[in-house]
Structure 1
Amino acid sequence: MDNIDRTETENEETGRWKKINSWIKRKFNYECYMTFLNGCYSCKWEAQQKKARRPLCCCSLRERLFYPWLVVSFCLSTLLLFTWIETSNEYNGFDWVVFLGTGVWFFWSIVLLSFLGILAAYTALLLVLGFLLCWEKNQLYLHWYHKILIVIVILFCSFFLWILLTYWKDRWFTIGLSLQVFAPYIHLGSLSVMVLLSWPVAFYLIHLEGEALQVVIGLPFVLILLCLYVVPLGIYSPCVQEKDKLGPKPYFFGHRGAGMLGPENTMMSFEKAVEYGAHGLESDVQI
């Protein structure tokens, strides 16, 4: 009988400790999660008490006015990064121009590419953090360090794009062709993002009290989503065409094989090129 009572007491204590441990883990993880979000976004790393969630807007007018600038900085940094990636054939010329001006030879084009990637990642991270804080109904407060950096990013990207537009006009033709190639993938990515955002937007609209606010917020979102669904009707991409509309097959030439390893490699290379319908053959003659 004593053993049975002792066993029941141990089971009750074990169940109580499991509940306490699960509560501690859940509470600790949520507080760490919110502290991390607030620390990265607002530079406030101290743990905050859980506040009552507000069903409507959870940020001040100043933060609401500045958040579109954060979106603009992300778009500009991403556009500039894409532009610089597409001008990779001109990296050597850019390094040479910098060398003539500074007298120091270095791979400045790669440094600039890394810097632009950091800017795009930085603005994207702030966008995601702000969205998560809004989802948790937490008050937004972007630290003034971040605000200054966002303004600098906008000015830098605008200035660099102006330089490319003024002194490198031929590059924009290449960028236009690249956008035509990547248009289907950009469309699918944008559509996926809008579909994912439709759930929190719908949840937010449900809790709005005034019908005017619901129309002001919901109508632009629906119009953008409809435009994305209709965009494929006007997209022209060389990657998405019917077979009878494809251009002629480009000419290709057969190059000699590794003659230094074996003379027969050149003959094998030429035979294989003729087999696949090469337009011509090319070889080097050494005397």
Structure 2
Amino acid sequence: MGRSPVSLSRLKLGRLKVVRRQLLQRYEHQPFVSCLAGLYGCQWRRYQRLECGSFGLLIVTFFLTLVFLYFWSEAQNDYNDFDWFNFGNLGFWFPWSLVLLVVSAALFTYVALLLVLAVCLLSEGQRLYLHWSHKVNNNN
């Protein structure tokens, strides 16, 4: 009978340690994860709820922009023909091929950055909440 109170107090102390450890893990200040979540989904507050984004859509958009950027950068011989076609239709000369190349490179960089942020958040065990402004930008 003398051992019961000791084991009971050890059990209570063990439970308190587990609860304390869980609380510390849950409410631990993580500035890096908070920054990643803020950049990815504009989720700057801890318990802010946003509509869940689609990671698959982000991957598909990444590969489509990669393919477009690859084909447009490989079509360097056709830049002149593309510019002449636009000159014939618009009536003034402007290097539209260069503009299209810069816009596609910027879109690829933007989507690649979002994908890197998503992978970092997933590696930290966070849920992904893609902000609506990123969804609109990815669908264009």
TM-score (norm 1): 0.36
Matched, 1:99 2:87: yes
Change (3 A) 1:149 1:61: closer
Runs of 4 or more consecutive aligned structure 1 residues displaced over 2 Å after TM superposition: 60-63
Residue 38 of structure 1 aligns with an amino acid whose one-letter code is A
Partner of 2:70: 82
Whether the aligned pair in 1 keeps the contact of 2:51 and 2:131 (CA below 8 Å) is: no
Secondary structure (helix, strand or coil) at the match of 1:40 reads: helix
Deviation at 1:103, TM superposition (A): 1.8
* Identity across matched positions, percent: 40
Partner of 1:129: 117
Matched, 1:35 2:23: no
Q: Distance in 2 between matches of 1:87 and 1:120?
A: 17
Q: Distance in 1 between matches of 2:56 and 2:97?
A: 30
Partner of 1:108: 96
Deviation at 1:44, TM superposition (A): 2.8
Q: Distance in 2 between matches of 1:45 and 1:111?
A: 34
Matches within 5 A, 1:1-287: 30-31=30-31, 33-46=32-45, 48=46, 62-63=52-53, 66-152=54-140
Gaps of 5+ in 2: 1-27
Residue 112 of structure 1 aligns with an amino acid whose one-letter code is L
Deviation at 1:39, TM superposition (A): 1.9
Q: Distance in 1 between matches of 2:71 and 2:52?
A: 32
Q: Distance in 2 between matches of 1:39 and 1:102?
A: 43
Q: Distance in 1 between matches of 2:51 and 2:131?
A: 15
Residue 87 of structure 1 aligns with an amino acid whose one-letter code is A
Deviations 1:225-263 (A, max 9, x none): xxxxxxxxxxxxxxxxxxxxxxxxxxxxxxxxxxxxxxx
Aligned length: 111
Residue 37 of structure 1 aligns with an amino acid whose one-letter code is L
Partner of 1:181: none
Gaps of 5+ in 1: 1-26, 50-59, 153-287
Whether the aligned pair in 1 keeps the contact of 2:52 and 2:130 (CA below 8 Å) is: no
**Higher relative contact order, structure no. (Cα contacts within 8 Å, ≥ 6 residues apart):** 2
TM-score (norm 2): 0.71
Secondary structure (helix, strand or coil) at the match of 2:130 reads: coil
CA root-mean-square deviation: 2.3
